[in-house]
Amino acid sequence: MIKLEAAELAARIKTEVKAEIDGGLSACLAAVRVGDDPASAVYVRNKIKACEEVGIRSEHHALPESTTETELLELVNSLNTRDDVDGILVQLPLPRAINETAIIEAIDPAKDVDGFHPINAGKLAMGRPVFVPCTPAGIMELLDDRGVEISGVNACVVGRSQIVGRPMAQLLLQRDATVTICHSRTRDLVAVTSTADLLVVAVGRAGFIGRAHIKPGAIVIDVGMNRISDPDEVRMLFGSEAEQRLDVVAKRGATLVGDVNPSDGAAVAGMLTPVPGGVGLLTVAMLMKNTIKAARLRRQ
């Protein structure tokens, strides 16, 4: 089994972005976070750190949990009007009292570096993408970098979110793959996934995809990022690597696992993205690429 590690590619993408900044193109990303969700705080911190690495100026607007939808809309609108801000990122999920759809639709499509605005989603669906959601875009970069043939393959995407599943299916379809989308209502999931040459999994359930779901030799892209701490679960999922992961649990309180059972995936798949060290690195790198693209387009 070949590990589809992404660190080298992510570093290369960031280097390309830095070269544009060093060449005189300035860019600014405004990141907005509402509330105290620990995972959101880590994600935003990683994005701000990546901006520092490549030379993109960043702003971090950390708002309290009590922030109202009206207040958040006012902030988004003010960032829309500022000429010195090129990209706007509102970290999801938002508190329940705030309508996520209303916030996403309020972002200027020209500054929507997450690619979630209906205008950008529509352009992607029409085969004329401007800003593509960062995780699917990064997966396509990884497949191309490894020389994976996409045209004609049977591809299966497990998960139908607007962030990963649906745009991923669109990108694969536009590259002439035969695409099936599976979800929580799919009957006999194993029968569908086990025929896929390329399997992309984004369901948010630790180790959900097992040996029976994977076609021998298939390329498996694991988008999941789940924290687990139960020693029995760690041993069940990681097999021979369990002791190393238990050391991580002892030091950090938990270890990361994807949506694919790692020991099953390693035994059956031809290629598999590791967690961590896989798709997550590319998501941040592609955000940098989208931000510099937004800056370039706005100046044109």
* pTM attached to this predicted model: 0.95
pLDDT of amino acid 270? 98
CB 167 within 8 A of CB 138: no
Q: pLDDT of 7-54, one tens digit each?
A: 999 999 999 999 999 999 999 999 999 999 888 998 999 999 999 999
pLDDT of amino acid 102? 98
pLDDT of amino acid 285? 97
pLDDT of amino acid 171? 98
Supply the residues annotated as catalytic: 47, 91, 114
pLDDT of amino acid 58? 97
Greatest C-alpha distance within the chain: 56
Alpha carbons 254 and 98: distance in angstroms, whole number = 30
pLDDT of amino acid 38? 85
Residue ranges, the chain, pLDDT below 50: none
pLDDT of amino acid 39? 85
Alpha carbons 172 and 153: distance in angstroms, whole number = 9
Strand partners, 227: 256
Q: pLDDT of 54-67, one tens digit each?
A: 999 999 999 999 99
pLDDT of amino acid 247? 95
DSSP the chain: -EE---HHHHHHHHHHHHHHHHTT---EEEEEEES--HHHHHHHHHHHHHHHHHT-EEEEEEE-TT--HHHHHHHHHHHHH-TT--EEEEPSPPPTTS-HHHHHHHS-GGGBTT--SHHHHHHHHTT--SS--HHHHHHHHHHHHTT---TT-EEEEE---TTTHHHHHHHHHHTT-EEEEE-TT-SSHHHHHTT-SEEEE-S--TT-B-GGGS-TT-EEEE---EEE--HHHHHHHHGGGHHHHHHHHHHHS-EEE-SB-HHHHHHH-SEE--SSSSHHHHHHHHHHHHHHHHHHHHH-
The architecture that CATH gives domain 134-281 is 3-Layer(aba) Sandwich (3.40)
pLDDT of amino acid 142? 98
pLDDT of amino acid 300? 84
CB 181 within 8 A of CB 166: yes
Which stretch of DSSP H or E encloses residue 198?
Answer: strand 198-201
